[in-house]
Amino acid sequence: MTDKTRAVVGTERRRSTTLKFELLDKIESLSDSRIVALKQVSLAEEYLADHFPTFPVLPGVMMLEALTQAAAWLLHCRSGFASSMAVLKEARNVKYGRFVAPGSALRVDVELSKATDAGAVFKAAGTVDGQPAVSARLELSYFRLGQKDAALASLDERLIAHARQRWAVLNARSDVTLNP
């Protein structure tokens, strides 16, 4: 392997590890304890080519990720973007109902069950045309990187600024107002 090839492979590896799916397309409603959002499923989404090629549907893990992203936005909005990281700590009682095919909209409804010192617990559900597609009890951790490692503290403000920018884009597609 040449040095040039190594550089290209190294760049590709870095790119592939930064892949992140922004799954929510619209916020329908937001309160201090609840968020309702939509995920439009399009045949153009790259992961549908492999899951399943002759019967494309939104993978269950992506449905769970949509619930988690909505819960994370609720944490950010409740706290005024006080922390940089909102990560899934635990998913319990995950149940899948119906398939979510391209052309469908997954309606995500996440309600705060209990705030904790380190995050919160949520009751979450996703429906398609009023029919259950996924439900779960989620626990998210909410923290600043600087709390875990002082050397990472400088990233917190950049990550929070980035989250605010992402929220502005997502919120611009919605009729929901927010005072972060």
Please indicate whether residue 51 is annotated as part of the active site: yes
154: which residues sit within 8 A by CB, 6+ positions away? 146
Which residue's entry shows tokens 């799916």? 21
What span, in angstroms and rounded, lies between the C-alpha atoms of 120 and 66?
17
E strand or H helix at 106, and its extent? strand 105-116
Give yes or no for a contact between 158 and 123, defined as CB atoms under 8 angstroms apart.
no
Give yes or no for a contact between 178 and 91, defined as CB atoms under 8 angstroms apart.
no
In terms of phi and psi (left: phi > 0; alpha: psi -120 to 50; beta: otherwise), the region of 80 is left
Which is catalytic among the residues 51, 89, 98, 137? 51
- Cα distances (angstroms) measured from residue 80 to each of 32, 33, 76: 11, 14, 6
What positions carry a catalytic annotation? 51
